[in-house]
Amino acid sequence: MVEHLLQFKGASKQYGRKTALQDISLTVGSGKIIGLLGSNGSGKSTLMKMAAGLLSPSSGSVEVQGLPAGPKTKSMVSFMPDRPLTESWMKVKDALMFYRDFYVDFDMEKATHMLEFMNLKQEDKISALSKGMNERLQLTLALSRNAALYLLDEPIGGVDPVARGKILDAIVEFYHEDSSIIISTHLVRDIERIFDEIVFIRDGEMVMHEEVEQLRLKHGKSVDEMFKEVFAE
Ligand SMILES: Nc1ncnc2c1ncn2[C@@H]1O[C@H](COP(=O)(O)OP(=O)(O)OP(=O)(O)O)[C@@H](O)[C@H]1O
């Protein structure tokens, strides 16, 4: 039996009485860049945290390569949260060493290479980095692990359009084709060029999962046009 890289089967998540995700069934294969798109509060971060094994579903299941998402799957998944894991006293080089010590699959050579591409210096103090530079660092840390699945939660939220282009170039440049990346964002237009597939979630429900190519062929629409149509208020 072929095991899927990531599979949600009727997964729901409640926070108390609030339903953040409702009956999500989603299968993700290898070698894809997937856009997880939805407006604020639609459930993107919740879905990411469930895929990362940090939150368990209230009902249904979430599996990574056939194993329930949780402690056993953490080594297969590299998660870039929307808030940094590094400490403000650190220099960039300390953050690299922290990751190297913490994750056996951390590739220091790749990280050094990627830092250069991102115009970050090892001696830079993290507390002095701008929001956009900090995002570049977090992305470098997340992508420098050798994982099967990368989860990037809002990786371009804090940066201007030029820097966004740079970050997207870095994702494509340093992406390993056997792995998959899920990127959550509401900045659809700036980022759609790198997606193979898109998932739309609205009010905790998955309303579309489609290959970008199919979207263009079947509907004659760009992802951005489709997004505006689905999420029109
Ligand atoms: N710890 C929590 N306790 C209670 N409600 C929560 C909690 N975390 C998230 N929620 C609620 O669940 C819903 C989904 O939140 P989530 O953070 O997954 O959305 P999102 O799509 O990532 O939003 P954004 O784009 O604004 O980051 C929201 O209504 C949010 O208020």
Whether the CB of 109 sits within 6 Å of ligand 1: no
DSSP string, 55-113: S--SEEEEEETTEESSGGGGGGEEEE-SS--S-TT-BHHHHHHHHHHH-TTB-HHHHHH
What is the interface pTM, i.e. ipTM, of the complex? Answer: 0.94
Ligand 1 atom nearest 21 alpha carbon: 14
Query: Does 1 map to a domain?
Result: no
- Residue 55: domain span: 6-231
Q: If you take atom 28 of ligand 1, which residue's CA is the nearest one?
A: 41
Residues in the chain: 233
Q: Report the nearest-CA residue for atom 18 of ligand 1.
A: 43
Determine the Cα–Cα distance for residues 177 and 169; give it in Å rounded to an integer.
15
- For the chain, the domain total comes to 1
Q: Is the CB of 18 under 6 A from ligand 1?
A: yes
Per-residue pLDDT of the chain (233 residues), as tens digits, is 557 999 999 999 999 999 999 999 999 999 999 999 998 899 999 999 999 999 999 999 999 999 999 999 999 999 987 777 778 789 999 999 999 999 999 999 999 999 999 999 999 999 998 888 888 999 999 999 999 999 999 888 777 877 888 888 889 888 888 999 999 988 888 888 899 999 999 999 999 999 999 988 998 988 999 998 888 86
CATH number at 195 reads 3.40.50.300
